[in-house]
């Protein structure tokens, strides 16, 4: 539906002919008239197409569902969590997912997130990072860790090494009470 709206006008629809008083050629306007289960959209979109046709569609790729949606609909997937997570988890999963969809795996660009702390020296940058880290609420940190690990981090035992696949450790630890 979104791309259909972006296709509301042909590239040459807006003639802007002042002498004839013609802003656009009505024959080059396409009405979407989408009627779905939850949404009806007649269209057209009230702006001209961008030069490249459609805006670049970027999808968040932290979850398996997000990576699947990116493979099916997006041109790029944004991933966070550091280089190893991006390289080993997000990219192959998204490329594998795009093989299952109509798109080719090569069309999908991976945009890894980066968190950069800048200081006049390494020590200053480390101090700034420590200050930022000290402001993170425990529940927010657990939620972020859960997303990165793909499992409920509350089930992991504090001060214990995390297994190669944390989901295995969570299964083993289910009978124990998680602590902070």
Q: Give 93-148 pLDDT, tens digit per residue.
A: 555 555 555 455 677 888 888 889 999 999 999 999 999 999 999 999 999 888 77
Does residue 157 have a pLDDT over 90?
A: no
Whole-model pTM over 0.85: no
Q: Which long-range contacts (CB under 8 A, 24 or more apart) does 66-74 make?
A: 67/93, 67/94, 67/97, 68/97, 70/94, 70/97, 70/108, 71/95, 71/96, 71/97, 71/98, 71/100, 71/101, 71/103, 71/105, 71/108, 72/97, 72/98, 72/101, 72/102, 72/103, 74/108
């Amino acid at each position: 539906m979104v791309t259909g709206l972006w296709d509301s006008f042909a590239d040459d629809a807006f003639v802007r002919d002042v002498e004839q008083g013609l802003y656009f050629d009505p024959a080059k306007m396409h009405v979407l008239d989408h009627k779905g289960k939850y949404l009806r959209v007649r269209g057209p979109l009230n702006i001209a197409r961008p030069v490249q046709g459609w805006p670049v569609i970027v999808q968040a790729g932290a979850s398996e569902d997000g990576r699947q949606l990116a493979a099916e609909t997006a041109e790029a997937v944004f991933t966070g969590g550091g280089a190893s997570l991006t390289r080993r988890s997000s990219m192959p999963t998204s490329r594998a997912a795009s093989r299952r969809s109509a798109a080719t795996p090569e069309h999908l660009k991976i945009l890894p997130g980066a968190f950069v702390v800048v200081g006049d020296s390494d020590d200053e940058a480390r101090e700034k990072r420590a200050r930022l880290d000290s402001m993170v609420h425990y529940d927010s940190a657990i939620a972020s860790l859960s997303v990165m690990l793909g499992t409920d981090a509350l089930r992991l035992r504090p001060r214990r090494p995390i297994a190669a696949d944390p989901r295995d450790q969570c299964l083993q630890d289910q009978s124990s009470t998680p602590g902070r």
